[in-house]
Amino acid sequence: MSLIGSVALGTGVMIGAGIFALVGQVAELAGGWMPWAFFAGAVVVAFSSYSYIRYSAANPSSGGIAMLLKAAYGPGVIAGSFSLFMYVSMILAESLLGRTFGTYLLRPFGLQDSALWVPILAVLAIAAAALVNLVGNQWVERSATVTAALKIIGIAVLAIGGILASGLSSLGRLFTTADRTSPDSGWLGFLAGVTLCILAYKGFTTITNQGADLKNPQRNIGRSIMIAIGLCTVLYLLITVAVTGSLTVPEIVAARDYALAEAAEPAFGSWGVTLTVIIAIIATLSGLIASLFSVSKLYDMLHNMGQAPGLPRHTTHQSLLITAGLAILMAAFFDLSQIAALGAILYLAMDIAIHWGIIRHLRHDIDVKAWIPAVAIALDVAVLIPFLFLKGRSDPLTLIITAATVIILTAIQWFMVHHRNQQETPDHS
């Protein structure tokens, strides 16, 4: 896989539900400070990426994160549990993409809030993406490059057009508090909003799973990650400025699952909504294809390491079938808000474990400057705690589901490790 192909695959995962579905949810927490929240998310992710880049460049593999956790904590319950956290957070991202596809596709028909058709279309989108992945890696890379270019151009057109429609002076909103609606919960709301913004960037981690397929990985993994984060940061800032210039915060929140389509209507009319829907469909479907490819690679690694169960019978493409099946279940039964919250909490918990493992056990092996992952931990904690506090106050059910998920994943990992140890221990009887 080339550098361009790797960047395309990474941005293919990042530019999807992250910007199309999360804008409204971030505005609900961060208010008119939403563009700054996306910028702050990029800063947090930039610090986080250092640990992944350093390890993956030194040890490129198809399961970069799983290998990193195993190297840091050994092949036990801790490494396996946090690997499963990452795996499930990636599946949640896929279900988020699926539901975003359904929501935007139904927007022209006024059915975007349908409790029946949104999950049905989400399931169909995930199933279609799984079928595409059966074609093979080269097709996935070629399609990712084309669709990534279409998404970048399309979102840039929407963003620039929206900014021109609301006046070039709207760019000044990035640097001033004038005409900004402050978050209802102040700085707590802003930091909680940053937590969701991180979901819009975390697709960079899929690049670490491509190490075995990437040309010159020691050099290109880091370059690919930084280029992908930089591209997405610029696009997210432009589009959020355009949205806040077109709609008030209450209007964005009211249309939180399809805010970009809603924002396009005042600026461009019905054709703008149609263009936004087309871009959203391309973004979500291509994001699903890219994500299923990468996440299946991670599951293969976890299964080979004895950290994840397989199907009862040896089945071709079992990692793809398991990944797509779980994504379909989550898309069918969770709404966008629940999916985003659960995915963000699991991802940040895993991210903190990654940085701690680097500092405690791997910093000398891979020549890491310890202060960078230390700052990454501090930033993760600084945004996660306000998010948990506000979520517990407004939606305690989601936190209960999250706690239950953590317990189940840890129990699965304990069983896998116990079973593996029994197999490896010789019977002397």
- The pLDDT tens digits for 50-100 are 988 888 777 766 556 778 888 889 888 898 899 899 889 989 988 988 999
Cα gap 297→295, rounded to integer Å: 5
C-alpha–C-alpha distance, residues 319 and 299, integer Å: 6
Compute the chain's Rg from CA coordinates: 21
Residue 86, helix vs strand vs coil: helix
H or E element in which residue 400 lies? helix 396-424
Render pLDDT for 335-364 as a digit per residue (tens, 0 to 9).
888 899 999 999 999 999 999 999 998 888
Higher pLDDT, 209 or 388: 388
What does the alpha-carbon distance between residue 274 and residue 264 come to, in Å, rounded to a whole number?
A: 9
On average, the pLDDT of the chain sits at 83
Residue 36 CB neighbour total at 10 angstroms: 21
**pTM to 2 decimal places:** 0.86
Q: Render pLDDT for 166-211 as a digit per residue (tens, 0 to 9).
A: 666 666 655 555 555 667 778 899 999 999 999 888 878 777 766 5
Structure tokens at 285: 């479907």
Report angle CA 278, 197, 55 to the nearest 5 degrees.
Answer: 105
Burial bucket for residue 277 (CB in 10 Å: 0-12, 13-18, 19+) = buried
Query: How many C-beta atoms surround the C-beta of residue 335 within 10 A?
Result: 14
Rounded to a whole number of angstroms, the distance between the first and last alpha carbons of the chain is: 51
Per 3-state DSSP, the chain is made up of helix, strand and coil in percentages (nearest 5) of 80, 0, 20
| Per-residue model confidence (pLDDT) at position 429 | 44
